[in-house]
Amino acid sequence: MTNEENTNIARELILLKLGELVLKGLNRRGFEDKLLGNARKILRPFGNFKVYSRQSTTYIEPQDDACDLDGAYDALSKLFGVAGLSRAKACEKTPEAMLKTAKTYLHDTLMSASSFKVESKRADKRFPLSSIQLSQEVGGGLHDAFPHLKVDVHTPEVTVHLEVRELAAYVHTDPTPGAGGLPVGMGGRAVSLLSGGIDSPVASWMIAKRGVSLDMIHFFSYPYTSPEAKEKVLELAKILVPWCGKLYVHVVPFTTIQETLMRECPEDLFTVLMRRFMMRISEALAKKLGCGALVTGESLGQVASQTMDAMNVTGAVCSLPILRPVIGMDKTEIISIARKIGTFETSILPYEDCCTVFTPRHPRTRPTLAEVEAAEVNLDIEAMVKDAVDHIERVVLAP
C-alpha cells in the first residue's frame, strides 16, 4: 500500500450517495461531472479536498489537517443531486480492520445507544465474505465489545454500515438526507421573479432543485418602498446562495411604470397590468442573458392576480415558458418549505414590496385579455420596457 493510500485511509471523509442521477441513461456521466464540479466549488472555502466518483458514490477526501470537515459537511447537505451523505472512516478491506475501525470511530455513538445492527454492502465482488457473513462477523465482535447493546434487526437505535468498495472499506452510521434533486446547471437557466414575500424564494429553491441555474429579478419602487425592503430581498437571495450557487440579482427601477399605470389605466386592472409589465421586463432580461424560462411564485387562487384568468392575461405577453413550481400548493405547505430552507423569518419582516404598495381597493379577479389590451393601448410599452431594462442594477452574491 502506498503512503498516499495509507494517508487517505487514516483520515475521516464524506460519502455522498447519488439520487435520481443513477437512473439517467447514456447521459448520466454529464450529470455526475456537473455534480462533482458543483461540489468542488462549494468546498473551496473549507480547504483542500479531493472529489471523485466511483460506483454511484462520490468521495470527499480531505487532503490535509487544515480542512474544515464540519463546514464541508454542512455545505454539502445543500448540494442538489445528493440523496444522502455520511461522515465515514476508511480502513483496509478485512473484517478485522472494519471491526477495529467501528469500535474506535463509532465508540461514543455505540456507548450511548441501547440497540444496534450491522448492514454490509459488498461493492467489490472480489471480497471473500458475503454481505451477510461480514455483518455477522463484525456484529458479533461489536456485541462482545459493547455488551450493553441489544441486537435489533428491525428498529435499531444505531445501524453500523460497512461498505467494501474498490479502494478501501468504509465504516459509518445512517446517512443524513441530502438535498435531492438534480445538479444545478443541468436543467438550463431561468430568470426568477423574487419579491420580498414567502412564495417566490420557495419557488426559486424548488426550480433550482430541478437543476436550473437562476438569475433573480426584483422590482423596486423607491420611494414608495424603502431601501430596507430592497435589502430584505437581497438577504433572501443570500440565503438561497448555498443551495443555488452564485446569484445575480437584477434590481429593476419600477416606480415610473407604476406611476404611469396609476395615471393612465383603470384602477381595478392595475394589478394585472403591473404584472404584465413585470413579465415583459423579465422576459427581455431573460433573452438578453440567454435564459430559457421565467419562474414565479404564483399559487393558484391565493390573491387576485393569481386566478386562472389573471395568470392567463399576464402570461399572454411572454413567449418563454413560465414555470410556477408552487402553483398547486397551499400556504401551509409553502411556509413549511420556507422554514426548512431558512427564508421564512426574513420573508415576514414588515417591509412593503412594490406589489402591496400599489394594490387597488377592488382588483379584478377575472380580467379578459381584450379589456386589458384596450387599457394598454395608449401606453408606449416598448419604450417603457426598454427604459426599465436599461436602468437595471445588478448585484452579485457569491458563496
- Domain match, 126 and 208 both: no
- Domain match, 194 and 156 both: no
- Domain match, 63 and 118 both: yes
Q: Is residue 57 part of a domain?
A: yes
Q: Is residue 126 part of a domain?
A: yes
Is 183 in contact with 38 (CB distance < 8 Å)? Answer: yes
- Domain match, 206 and 123 both: no
Which tens digit of pLDDT belongs to each residue from 319-367? 999 999 999 999 999 999 999 999 999 999 987 665 555 676 777 778 9
User: Domain end: 116, 148, 179, which one?
Assistant: 179
Q: Is residue 237 part of a domain?
A: yes
Is 168 in contact with 132 (CB distance < 8 Å)? Answer: no
- Domain hosting 92: range is 3-179
Domain count, the chain: 2
Q: Is residue 184 part of a domain?
A: no
Residue 235, domain CATH: 3.40.50.620
Count of Cβ atoms closer than 10 Å to residue 210 Cβ: 16
- Domain match, 262 and 357 both: yes
- Domain match, 170 and 221 both: no
Which tens digit of pLDDT belongs to each residue from 303-318? 877 889 999 999 999 9
- Domain match, 289 and 370 both: yes
- Domain match, 158 and 218 both: no
Residue-by-residue pLDDT tens, the chain, 399 positions: 444 444 455 679 999 999 887 778 778 889 999 999 999 999 999 999 999 998 889 999 999 999 999 999 999 999 999 999 999 999 999 999 999 999 999 999 999 999 999 999 999 999 999 999 999 999 999 999 999 999 999 999 999 999 999 889 999 999 999 999 999 999 999 999 999 999 999 999 999 999 999 999 999 998 888 899 999 999 999 999 999 999 999 999 999 999 999 999 888 899 999 999 999 999 999 999 999 999 999 999 888 778 899 999 999 999 999 999 999 999 999 999 999 999 999 999 987 665 555 676 777 778 999 999 999 999 999 999 999 999 999 999 987
- Domain match, 271 and 341 both: yes
